[in-house]
């Protein structure tokens, strides 16, 4: 019989001396823990039973201390404040958030939260841990909000108040429009969703007015874009300086394959390296209080540049320096010169068995989930002899094993609308008749935010009619940087059945496999094809038949977008083994099939 102090999954109940104890995970409430929290509990158990720290001297892998507010707390909050009607209404996100701020948290948890506010003196991350994420085995990546708190106010009342505001904000995000659209695409409804909340220490250390980890990372045991010489099962890791928001928002990060940590990224020039590697990083703002805005996710986040990192002395372990007279990058910052964040000191020197630890974590995670996996982590390198690697998340990846063949002759037919040798997904789709695309002649990088807004409207209409569509645009879909691509949230294009990224000369960026957008792409098994705009001789990718596309009559048309609906559905095929994919106009495809 379990002692009175333990709940489901052997997660003990929160004790008000929590922060003085060695217990990494506790719970408040008796309900479910949600997908993210359950993943962390699994990590806790995995590290205890399968990770032999002796093999990785100098690295401590741990789960940062956390408390989970179980789903029954959410239920009580919603019911006692009469919020369900509001939640399912069409209220705008900010009004939804404000309504939730005015509601009261359940009395029975307030004392524990206050004790937490009294004891915790490090920044905290208030993270969503959704029930549907657990049930549907989907990452729900980037769907709900996370709030970072500096937790450095001297007055406990203020810290408590901020904690309460953050919890209410994450609760409210369950019913933001983006989340509702996302859930709709899973054939469930928001009524099925319940939210647990993780209150977790942020990994990192303080540098003046910034708090951040030296390294954040996302590792995947399956790589959809293996470089030559690597296989998909070699995996891929994205690394960034500062908070992992850089990676999950699709910003510039360092990408490498764990099997070949020293292989350089395929940049063509020094200029490219300096321009396309990470130039800014996210941190928790520990300085002057920002404008009060409890309903903004980024209320306590700041973005800083490499000069700030240099001032904080956090570049030496993660950057290389371009030494002009040798025309090469040297790991570290011992020399003067422009810096590029390439994590060479960490990956090339091997003083710390970092890569080995990552490989081991990916391996044992795969064994535990019996599936390809994605992990998130953050590292504090303040004591180089004792590096602390916080394991932040574990989720399964969906990798299809179906066999799909695309012959060379098929790609040479006149019916090809577009084709690519950089495709993700695996399978055949022959039901899509709608195409929504960004008008190439009107496209400008400065207009990408407007495109995202217009797309949301089109998406909602098609989603309601249950008409998946082929989405075609320029640059990286879902990029947080509007100059790198179209900054859509998944919920704004959740009805897309196929997504095509057409590159441009100045928007030719490797897809970020660590980004939330990418997660959802894989999770919803939406085929993705990357196509070059121009038919460059000898290029790896093929052109798009823009002439045919523009010739089709438009169902709706704006300055920036065009929506056409075909009489015959398209045929989409993607071979996940080779990364080949193509889209045909069906009638011609049928003719080809019979020829």
Rule CB under 8 A: which residues touch another protein? 3-5, 16, 30, 76, 104-108, 110-111, 113-115, 118, 157, 160-161, 164
Question: Least distance (Å) from another protein to the CB of residue 13?
Answer: 9
User: Quick one: 163 or 308, whose CB is closer to another protein?
Assistant: 163
The three-state secondary structure class of 129 is strand
Question: Least distance (Å) from another protein to the CB of residue 38?
Answer: 22
Q: What are residue 257's DSSP bridge partners?
A: 260
Q: What are phi and psi of 262, to 5 degrees?
A: -95, 0
Q: Are 250 and 273 in contact (CB under 8 A)?
A: no
Q: Are 120 and 201 in contact (CB under 8 A)?
A: yes
User: Quick one: 105 or 462, whose CB is closer to another protein?
Assistant: 105
User: Quick one: 115 or 463, whose CB is closer to another protein?
Assistant: 115
Scanning 120-155, the segments in alpha helix (DSSP H) are 131-135
Question: Least distance (Å) from another protein to the CB of residue 98?
Answer: 14
User: Quick one: 79 or 557, whose CB is closer to another protein?
Assistant: 79
Cα 438 from Cα 423, distance rounded (Å): 20
Cα 59 from Cα 173, distance rounded (Å): 36
Q: What are residue 391's DSSP bridge partners?
A: 377
What count of other Cβ atoms lies within 10 Å of the Cβ of residue 530?
25
Question: Least distance (Å) from another protein to the CB of residue 83?
Answer: 15
User: Quick one: 166 or 574, whose CB is closer to another protein?
Assistant: 166
- Check the CA dihedral 410-415-421-426 and report its sign: negative
Measured in whole angstroms, the distance separating CA 465 from the mean position of its chain's CA atoms is 28
User: Quick one: 163 or 387, whose CB is closer to another protein?
Assistant: 163
Question: Least distance (Å) from another protein to the CB of residue 104?
Answer: 5
Question: Least distance (Å) from another protein to the CB of residue 25?
Answer: 19
Question: Least distance (Å) from another protein to the CB of residue 72?
Answer: 10
User: Quick one: 117 or 341, whose CB is closer to another protein?
Assistant: 117
The three-state secondary structure class of 347 is helix
Question: Least distance (Å) from another protein to the CB of residue 107?
Answer: 5
Farthest-apart Cα atoms in the chain, separation: 78
Cα 347 from Cα 318, distance rounded (Å): 9
Question: Least distance (Å) from another protein to the CB of residue 10?
Answer: 16
Cα 305 from Cα 595, distance rounded (Å): 59
Question: Least distance (Å) from another protein to the CB of residue 87?
Answer: 19
Question: Least distance (Å) from another protein to the CB of residue 114?
Answer: 4
Residue 206 burial by Cβ neighbours in a 10 Å radius (0-12, 13-18, 19+)? middle
- β-bridge pairing 319-323 and 339-341: antiparallel
User: Quick one: 159 or 562, whose CB is closer to another protein?
Assistant: 159
Cα 555 from Cα 458, distance rounded (Å): 11
**For residue 81, what are the CA distances in angstroms to 70, 103, 107, 380, 528?**
18, 6, 12, 41, 43
User: Quick one: 5 or 57, whose CB is closer to another protein?
Assistant: 5
E strand segments, 515-560: 528-532, 554-557
Cα 224 from Cα 233, distance rounded (Å): 9
User: Quick one: 54 or 102, whose CB is closer to another protein?
Assistant: 102
Cα 331 from Cα 112, distance rounded (Å): 47
User: Quick one: 52 or 108, whose CB is closer to another protein?
Assistant: 108
User: Quick one: 104 or 313, whose CB is closer to another protein?
Assistant: 104
Residues in the chain: 595
What count of other Cβ atoms lies within 10 Å of the Cβ of residue 546?
17
Question: Least distance (Å) from another protein to the CB of residue 92?
Answer: 23
Q: Are 106 and 73 in contact (CB under 8 A)?
A: yes
CB contact set of 538 (below 8 Å; sequence gap of 6+): none
- Using left for φ > 0, alpha for ψ between -120 and 50, and beta otherwise, residue 29 falls in left
């Amino acid at each position: 019989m379990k002692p009175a102090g333990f709940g489901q999954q052997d997660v003990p109940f929160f004790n008000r001396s929590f922060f003085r104890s060695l217990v990494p995970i506790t719970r408040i409430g008796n309900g479910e823990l949600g997908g993210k929290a359950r993943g962390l509990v699994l990590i806790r158990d995995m590290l205890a039973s399968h990770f032999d720290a002796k093999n990785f001297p100098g690295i401590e892998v741990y789960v940062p201390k956390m408390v989970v507010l179980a789903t029954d707390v959410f239920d009580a909050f919603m019911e006692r404040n009469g919020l369900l009607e509001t939640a399912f209404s069409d209220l705008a996100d900010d009004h939804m958030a404000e309504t939730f701020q005015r509601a009261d948290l359940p009395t029975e948890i307030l004392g524990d939260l206050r004790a937490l506010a009294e004891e915790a003196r490090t920044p905290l991350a208030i993270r969503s841990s959704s029930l549907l994420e657990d049930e549907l085995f989907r990452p729900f990546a980037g769907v709900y909000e996370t709030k970072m708190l500096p937790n450095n106010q001297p007055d406990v009342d203020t810290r408590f108040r901020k904690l309460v505001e953050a919890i209410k904000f994450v609760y409210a995000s369950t019913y933001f429009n983006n989340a509702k659209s996302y859930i709709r695409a899973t054939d469930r409804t928001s009524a099925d969703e319940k939210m647990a909340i993780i209150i977790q220490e942020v990994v990192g250390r303080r540098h003046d007015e910034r708090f951040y980890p030296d390294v954040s990372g996302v590792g995947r045991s399956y790589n959809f874009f293996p470089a030559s010489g690597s296989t998909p099962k070699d995996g891929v890791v994205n690394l960034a300086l500062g908070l992992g928001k850089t990676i999950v928002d699709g910003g510039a990060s360092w990408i490498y394959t764990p099997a070949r940590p020293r292989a350089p990224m395929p940049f063509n020039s020094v200029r490219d390296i300096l321009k396309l590697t990470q130039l800014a990083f996210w941190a928790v703002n520990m300085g002057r209080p920002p404008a009060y805005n409890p309903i903004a996710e980024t209320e306590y986040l700041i973005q800083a540049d490499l000069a700030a990192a240099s001032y904080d002395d956090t570049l030496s372990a993660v950057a290389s320096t371009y030494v002009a007279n040798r025309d090469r990058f040297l790991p570290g910052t011992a020399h003067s010169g422009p810096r590029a964040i390439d994590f060479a000191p960490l990956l090339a020197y091997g003083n710390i068995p970092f890569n080995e630890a990552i490989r081991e974590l990916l391996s044992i995670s795969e064994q535990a989930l019996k599936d390809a996996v994605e992990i998130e982590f953050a590292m504090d390198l303040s004591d180089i002899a004792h590096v602390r690697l916080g394991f932040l998340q574990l989720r399964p990846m969906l990798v299809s094993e179906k066999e799909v063949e695309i012959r060379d002759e098929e790609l040479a037919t006149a019916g090809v609308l577009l084709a690519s040798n950089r495709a993700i997904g695996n399978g055949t789709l022959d039901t899509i008749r709608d195409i929504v695309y960004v008008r190439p002649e009107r496209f400008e990088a400065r207009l990408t935010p407007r495109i995202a807004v217009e797309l949301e409207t089109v998406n909602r209409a098609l989603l309601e009619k249950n008409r998946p569509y082929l989405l075609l645009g320029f640059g990286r879909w879902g990029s947080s940087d509007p100059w790198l691509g179209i900054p859509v949230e998944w919920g704004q294009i959740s009805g897309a059945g196929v997504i095509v990224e057409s590159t441009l000369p100045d928007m030719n960026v490797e897809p970020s496999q660590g980004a939330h957008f990418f997660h959802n792409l894989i999770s919803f098994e939406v085929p993705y094809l990357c196509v070059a705009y121009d038919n460059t001789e000898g290029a790896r990718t093929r052109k798009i038949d823009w002439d045919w596309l523009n010739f089709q009559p438009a169902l709706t048309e704006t300055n920036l977008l065009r929506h056409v609906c075909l009489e015959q559905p398209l045929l989409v095929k993607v071979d996940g083994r080779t990364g080949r994919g193509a889209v045909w106009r069906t009638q011609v495809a049928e003719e080809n099939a019979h020829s």
